[in-house]
Chain A
């Protein structure tokens, strides 16, 4: 299977500042790849490079085999920017007809799209009077015009309520099911967990990790934390025996590698009389994310 989007060793600088550093990625048809990263990591910059707005200092980007920004590439790509902005005095329907005209697709599609993002009632009102979420929906509708081969969605769900968020991902899943490759960025870890196929983590312009969530968890090799609540007075003894971190007078956190869990629990069982409660906390998404976005050669300086 050939990738719709293939990014290879991409570097990009603003002035002297390296914003993207040796990024390689690919997205296949029907696949949803979520791009995670802190503010200023370079996500939006990556999107703009794929669109051909920004020129890489080195490395290559191919959109359906074509140079970014070329006519053929723009035929293949649909884009939803991070801040959606339309001419204020046009109606939602006029906005979609405009983009449909620019893409040369049948105008009949417009009503369908409006219905798909739940804007049919507001279709003939001026966009200037839309709420943020409504503008975002219109932005998504615009991005779905003409069965795109590659969907670039820059923080598509920012500012959306939970229900809309869910609907958004359904629409995106629909598009992916029809063969679109989807590259989206997000700050919502939970939402990308089960709504996308793969995750890539960008930090300070470098790609830190890429894969399914399970793969990332394994690669990170983060310890499971076992939280112990000790009976009064027993915490010191347990701390002496097992080590770990004291949280307060009666609580102790033990880090435990993936394979050593059962063993540790068995050992804890021998101290049953000193324990009030045990809680097992496997590494969460946030931990995995933090692990990857923190690590690297610059870590020491921060």
Chain B
């Protein structure tokens, strides 16, 4: 089993490298992080927070948009493309189990996303360390950001692969990926804000709303990062992070559930593919 998953993993990682995905993702994430760091450095002296913490907060907000996008782009074509080109038929004719193919691809692309995040955010974190005063809290916030960003990337790789397996056609998988990104990253927040405005103070605001927020992996990620930073200057939905009815770690559990669900659905669906 392990050699077969390892084989799929190795091949997939090689692909990600040769398609320049890792380099591209690293460059994009690094440039955005650097821009936010410079912006934060300009502001830092006014607020009573160190630049690293400040940048971690703004980067968490930006990562919610970027990382799902990168992860979905990397994964949406992975299974449907191979179905269309016909190369998956050869793989499925070998003794490899279908779920091993799914998990191998998932692991490889997750590693690719995580490597990009580690290099990009790690480098920018070091640059900030050289240029500005940093605090222990800031370093912690930064490490939390990198790790949870990796988790967010993993979930959206899982979602992308799941959509790829569900649709089995590249064009449909692309449409589904764009739809999911819009829904989870943009529209969900708008809908929640509308709901909380309409409902006002009450049971909904205190007991339903927080759970709805962490039900979405993108929001759960942001909530976790902001809730862990006391001094974070936040507004809107994120203001919730100061008045949670559960510990911020619960948001991580929500991320874990998403991960398990996408892998389970994706693997089960891969079994049904007719290559």
Tell me, yes or no, whether A binds B.
yes
A interface residue numbers (CB < 8 A to B): 48, 51, 53-54, 71, 74-75, 77-79, 81, 83-87, 89-90, 94, 98-99, 101-104, 139, 142
Q: B94 on the interface (CB 8 Å rule)?
A: yes
Of the candidates B14, B89, B94, the one whose C-beta lies within 8 Å of that of A103 is B94
- Name which residue of chain A comes closest to B88, CB basis: A85
Q: CA separation between A103 and B89, bound complex, in Å?
A: 15
Max count, chain B CB within 10 A of own CB: residue among A53, A75, A87, A139: A87
CB within 8 Å for A85 and B94 given contacts A94-B14, A101-B6, A101-B7: no
Nearest-neighbour CB distance to chain A for B61, whole angstroms, equals 36
Of the candidates A48, A71, A79, A98, the one whose C-beta lies within 8 Å of that of B97 is A71
Given contacts A98-B11, A102-B94, A103-B95, 6 further A-B contacts (CB under 8 A): A74-B93, A74-B94, A77-B93, A79-B89, A89-B15, A99-B94
B interface residue numbers (CB < 8 A to A): 3-4, 6-8, 10-11, 14-15, 18-19, 82, 85-87, 89-97, 274-275
Q: CA separation between A94 and B17, bound complex, in Å?
A: 14
Nearest-neighbour CB distance to chain B for A180, whole angstroms, equals 15
Nearest-neighbour CB distance to chain B for A122, whole angstroms, equals 18
Q: CA separation between A53 and B90, bound complex, in Å?
A: 11
Q: List 23 A-B contacts (CB under 8 A).
A: A51-B92, A51-B93, A53-B92, A53-B274, A74-B93, A75-B95, A79-B89, A81-B90, A84-B86, A85-B86, A85-B87, A85-B90, A86-B87, A86-B90, A98-B7, A101-B3, A101-B6, A102-B91, A102-B96, A103-B95, A104-B3, A104-B4, A142-B90
Q: Is the CB of B275 within 8 A of A53?
A: yes
Q: Is the CB of A54 within 8 A of B95?
A: no
CB within 8 Å for A81 and B86 given contacts A53-B92, A102-B96: yes
Inter-chain contact count A-B, CB under 8 Å? 68
CB within 8 Å for A89 and B19 given contacts A102-B96, A104-B3: yes
Residues on the A chain within 8 Å of B82, using CB: 87
Q: Is the CB of A104 within 8 A of B274?
A: no
Q: CA separation between A85 and B91, bound complex, in Å?
A: 11
Q: Is the CB of B85 within 8 A of A85?
A: yes
Nearest-neighbour CB distance to chain A for B232, whole angstroms, equals 43
Nearest-neighbour CB distance to chain A for B275, whole angstroms, equals 6
Q: CA separation between A75 and B4, bound complex, in Å?
A: 13
Of the candidates B14, B92, B93, the one whose C-beta lies within 8 Å of that of A78 is B93
- Name which residue of chain A comes closest to B274, CB basis: A53
CB within 8 Å for A90 and B14 given contacts A101-B7, A102-B4, A104-B3: yes
Of the candidates B11, B97, B274, the one whose C-beta lies within 8 Å of that of A90 is B11
- Name which residue of chain B comes closest to A126, CB basis: B18
Of the candidates B10, B90, B274, the one whose C-beta lies within 8 Å of that of A54 is B274
Q: CA separation between A78 and B14, bound complex, in Å?
A: 25
Of the candidates A48, A51, A81, A104, the one whose C-beta lies within 8 Å of that of B95 is A104
Q: CA separation between A103 and B85, bound complex, in Å?
A: 22
Nearest-neighbour CB distance to chain A for B271, whole angstroms, equals 10
Residues on the B chain within 8 Å of A75, using CB: 95
List of 5 A-B pairs having minimum Cβ-Cβ separation, nearest first: A101-B7, A79-B93, A85-B86, A102-B94, A102-B96
Max count, chain A CB within 10 A of own CB: residue among B87, B91, B97, B274: B87
Q: Is the CB of A87 within 8 A of B274?
A: no
Max count, chain A CB within 10 A of own CB: residue among B15, B91, B96: B96
Residues on the B chain within 8 Å of A87, using CB: 11, 15, 82, 87
Residues on the A chain within 8 Å of B275, using CB: 53
Residues on the A chain within 8 Å of B96, using CB: 102
Residues on the B chain within 8 Å of A90, using CB: 11, 14-15
Q: CA separation between A98 and B90, bound complex, in Å?
A: 11
Q: Is the CB of B89 within 8 A of A53?
A: yes
